[in-house]
Amino acid sequence: MTEPVRLSKRMSELGLCSRREADEWIARGWVRVDGKVVSELGSKVLPHQRVTVERQAAAEQARRVTVLLHKPIGYVSGQAEDGYQPAVVLITPDRRWTEDKTSTQFHPSQLRSLVPAGRLDIDSNGLLVLTQDGRIAKQLIGEDSGIEKEYLVRVKYTKPGRLPEADLKLLNHGLSLDGKKLRPAKVRWQNEDQLSFILKEGKKRQIRRMCEAVGLKVLGLKRIRIGRVTLGNLPQGQWRYLGPDESF
């Protein structure tokens, strides 16, 4: 017999919204199960039951923005810490890239619930995604996310000679962090002191720790791509909106 699941969890599984959004919509009476409004938080449904949302929910979701920021070194991705400012303070009208082609107008309400979908260390720069849309957050940082993230990493080998081929293979697959095997990565030399890393996960300080394990010191780290969305020519410290024709 199929077990009932929480309505908010089922809505997230169906890709309608995030669980947090689902709870908001349920409380507002914007969710129907088999045509009947369900407004009680914690309600459960069976997988075969039909879940639909009212037009107001879709309209509110359409107003939610996703921002692409070229985060400079010295800003933290999320909450302020140790006297360092969060990257969201850079999302101001005067820092919007003049070449942003979207027609979206900036409004202070867009800063409400604008959260980073993934981290980028304080001493790294490059592409950081901030979003109000729970579906995008789930896509980028959900447990089953397989979206590629690409980095350019400037390194210095701390042992005599060059990095052995066997250690480059280890970076691609075979290393463990915190007692868990890492997913396969794609790591190759770009030039004599720069590596390209393509990962499908994002453990804390993962690239730095991977490099350390094979005797490489990271001198600079820049994220240039998340899925199909690239940093491109976006200047450091500036941002733009994710376009309607773009997806990760």
The residues carrying an active-site annotation are 121
| Tokens read off for 212 | 């350390």
Dig out the tokens for 64 from the structure: 């939610």
- Residue 204: Cβ within 10 Å count: 10
Q: Residue 144 is encoded by which pair of tokens?
A: 């089953």
- Angle, helices 165-172/206-213, rounded to nearest 10 degrees: 150
E strand spans, the chain:
5-6, 31-33, 36-37, 44-45, 51-53, 66-71, 115-116, 125-131, 149-157, 176-177, 180-181, 186-191, 194-199, 216-226, 229-230, 239-241
Residues 6+ positions from 57 with CB-CB distance below 8 Å = 17, 25, 28, 30, 31
Residue whose tokens read 């350390």: 212
* Spatial separation of the C-alpha atoms in residues 194 and 31, rounded to whole Å: 51
Alpha helices in the chain (DSSP H): 7-13, 19-27, 55-63, 134-141, 165-172, 206-213
Length of the chain: 248
Beta strands 194-199 and 149-157 are antiparallel
